[in-house]
């Protein structure tokens, strides 16, 4: 079903920027505000659920590319860009993968993670230039993230990527957007108007984070980075994670805690420790 509305001049009205279903927010109590935000947030998981067939299609095309050495590039501006960088940054510690395999690019660069960078998202050429600087190839995947589906920085990069035979996907809150038109696999997650009109850091941002979690987690599982239900390749970057890894080895091999911890620290990951012990 097409939820996108057309104006008389043919330009579409973005559902994500339509007026909130609520009004006079400044007159409400804190409890009313929280209850109403929560009511809206409950719609997000259902919107993501409806998008699962598209998410599945994209993941199924990413996995074989990554098995051949391909990478994922997330591209966005503002909240969308920050969420892409966040998801990419969590892959090395969680799954023990190099930080060169899933890369988040944000319009305006790292400065834009904390501060707005004027006009950065309006540059149609810059995104593709940044991909070229990273030697993008047809084994890679470019995923644009934009609630509006109209960010030039993202659209320009996706258009060029696709013209070079590179797989493109996108995550947007508006159907039939210009960004979706540049995607081999568009993921259209229609969450409706935001509680504060146009504040896409809310429902749209929440849905984007959920979908990013689904994409990278399912890809990492398919690449063998999880055993059973455990993060056996996580980086041992603090005492909590060393303890968690030690307990995984205790459970898997039946060793006492100190033996398991020694084995873990010797080999650097749960998987390597278990494989080495079983190979003896």
Catalytic residues: 90, 121
Cβ atoms within 10 Å of 201's Cβ, excluding its own: 17
How far apart, in whole angstroms, are the C-alpha atoms of residue 144 and residue 170?
4
**Closest among 236, 214, 221 to 96, alpha carbons compared:** 236
Cβ atoms within 10 Å of 21's Cβ, excluding its own: 13
How far apart, in whole angstroms, are the C-alpha atoms of residue 137 and residue 69?
10
Residues 165/138, Cβ–Cβ less than 8 Å: yes
Helices (H), 90-164: 91-95, 126-133, 152-163
């Amino acid at each position: 079903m097409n939820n996108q509305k057309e104006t008389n001049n043919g330009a579409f009205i973005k559902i994500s920027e339509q007026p909130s279903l609520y009004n006079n927010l400044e007159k409400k109590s804190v409890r009313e505000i929280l209850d109403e935000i929560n009511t809206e947030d409950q719609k997000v998981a259902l919107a993501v659920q409806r998008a699962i067939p598209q998410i599945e299609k994209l993941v199924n095309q990413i996995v074989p590319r990554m098995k051949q050495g391909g990478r994922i590039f997330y591209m966005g501006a503002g909240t969308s860009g920050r969420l892409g960088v966040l998801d990419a940054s969590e892959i090395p510690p969680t799954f023990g993968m190099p930080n060169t395999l899933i890369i988040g690019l944000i319009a305006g660069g790292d400065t834009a993670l904390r501060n707005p960078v004027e006009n950065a998202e309006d540059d149609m050429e810059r995104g593709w230039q940044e991909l070229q600087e990273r030697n993008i190839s047809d084994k890679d995947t470019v995923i644009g993230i934009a609630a509006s589906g109209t960010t030039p920085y993202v659209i320009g990069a996706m258009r060029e990527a696709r013209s070079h035979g590179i797989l493109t996907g996108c995550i947007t809150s508006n159907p039939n957007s210009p960004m979706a038109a540049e995607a081999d696999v568009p993921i259209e997650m229609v969450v409706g108007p935001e509680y504060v009109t146009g504040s896409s850091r809310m429902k749209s941002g929440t849905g984007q984070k959920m979908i990013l979690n689904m994409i990278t987690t399912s890809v990492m599982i398919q690449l063998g980075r999880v055993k059973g239900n455990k993060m056996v390749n996580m980086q041992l970057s603090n005492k909590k994670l060393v303890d968690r890894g030690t307990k995984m080895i205790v459970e898997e091999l039946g060793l006492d805690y100190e033996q398991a911890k020694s084995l873990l620290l010797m080999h650097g990951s749960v998987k390597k420790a278990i494989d080495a012990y079983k190979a003896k």
